[in-house]
Amino acid sequence: MKALMTGAVAAVLLASTAVQAQMKPEEMVETRQAGYQFMSWNMGKIKAQVVDGKEPYDQAKVAAAANAIAAIANSGMGSLYSPDTTTEQLGKATRLKPEFFQNLDEAGQIGRNFTAAANQLAKVAAEGDQAAIKKAFGDVGGSCKSCHDKFRAD
Amino acid sequence: MKALMTGAVAAVLLASTAVQAQMKPEEMVETRQAGYQFMSWNMGKIKAQVVDGKEPYDQAKVAAAANAIAAIANSGMGSLYSPDTTTEQLGKATRLKPEFFQNLDEAGQIGRNFTAAANQLAKVAAEGDQAAIKKAFGDVGGSCKSCHDKFRAD
């Protein structure tokens, strides 16, 4: 594996080795799924208020939702990904394709794009311009999708 | 139920009615459990680095973990609690005792104490004083425990 890692991705994975060592593969999967589920709930609130207009716009709530997404994105979720936590080892307990670890440069770039998009969403949500929030929300969703399309099993 | 609600708790619950209406009870349970699981992971990182000394202290990581806890705490989790999401209706899918809804003033106060403690932890984690982080971490843990002792089934 190590020969495939380069630059920032290798640094992130190596830096997280100590914490990884304390978690079982199943715990890593459950924890990252919890993070994504909680982000999804908050994305749904922003969508309902700013994109679909199904809920009245409440700037404080949208900002709080965006903050939760950004803080989760910045919390070091990379340490919850190890090569023994894919569909290959865990079957239906996860949807992470083994290909993730054969394309770590791309996976790392997708992760950095996601974090940057989440930070931008939190920034514009704090400012309150709904058009900017809608744009930033779309960019976060796009970064989610780029990883799902590439590395998430159906 | 409404006669039992007062002040801020009632306001929070009523304000969240629209969002609640779109979620099934099981979804509310899963989403709040996801939030707590993700906070627990981040509490564990802070504990390992600042309390137990099992991991080397990394200020940026501790601050990121504390930010995730605080942002989740501030994301409006109260809207994930409705009276049809207790052990009475859902059995072992949840550990929320029905007593929560017979003691909404106390539950609300515990929730506000938790959010305040999480915000304080994020503040001192950003500053980097380990003694202050350790104290604030203990206060967050205590606020978690106060709710578990009162409203969480064994």
Q: Considering the domain boundaries, does residue A15 fall inside one?
A: no
* Cross-chain residue pair A71–B55, CB shorter than 8 Å: no
Per-residue confidence at B13, pLDDT binned at 50, 70, 90? low
pLDDT tops 80 at residue A15 = no
How many domains does chain B divide into? 1
Q: Is residue A2 part of a domain?
A: no
Residue of A nearest to B56 (CA): A18
At residue A13, the pLDDT reads 52
Region B95-111 average pLDDT: 97
Mean pLDDT of the region A125-154:
97
The answer to whether residue B51 is domain-embedded is yes
Considering chain B, what is the average pLDDT of its residues? Answer: 90
Instruction: Read off the CATH number of the domain in which B88 is found.
Output: 1.20.120.10
* B79 falls within a domain: yes
**What residues 67-96 of chain A have any CB closer than 8 A to a CB of chain B?**
67-68, 70-72, 74-76
- Asked whether the predicted pLDDT for residue A127 surpasses 70, the reply is yes
Chain B neighbors of A67, CB-CB under 8 A: 71, 74-75
Q: The tokens 């794009």 sit on which residue?
A: A113
Inform me whether the C-beta atom of residue A17 falls under 8 Å from chain B C-beta atoms. no
| B144 appears as a binding residue in the annotation | yes
Put simply, the answer to whether B64 touches A75 (Cβ < 8 Å) is yes
Which residues, including other chains, have CB under 8 Å from residue A101's CB and lie 6 or more apart?
A1, A4, A83, A86, A107
Main-chain phi, psi angles of B96, to 5 degrees: -75, 115
Find the residue in B nearest to A40 (Cα): B31
Split at pLDDT 50, 70, 90, the class of A139 is very high
Residue A72 with chain B: CB contacts under 8 Å: 38, 68, 71-72
Residue A10 lies in a domain: no
Residues A27, A20: Cα–Cα separation, whole Å: 10
State which residues form the domain around B134: 27-149
The tokens for B123 are: 């503040």
Interface A–B counts its CB contacts (< 8 A) at: 76
Tell whether B4 is covered by a domain.
no
A65 falls within a domain: yes
The reported pTM is 0.89
Count of alpha carbons within 13 angstroms of residue A33, beta-carbon side: 16
Give me the amino acid identity at B91: G
CA distance A73 to chain B (A): 9
In the prediction, which pLDDT does B144 show? 97
Residue A10 has pLDDT above 90, yes or no: no
- Average pLDDT (B101-117) is 97
Concatenated DSSP letters of A66-101: HHHHHHHHTS-GGGG--TTSSHHHHGGG--B-GGGG
Question: Of B76, B56, B26, B79, which Cα lies nearest the Cα of B130?
Answer: B56
Least confident span in A1-10, A69-78, A104-113, B57-66 = A1-10
B18-40 pLDDT, tens digit each: 454 579 999 999 999 999 999 99
User: Is A67 inside any structural domain?
Assistant: yes
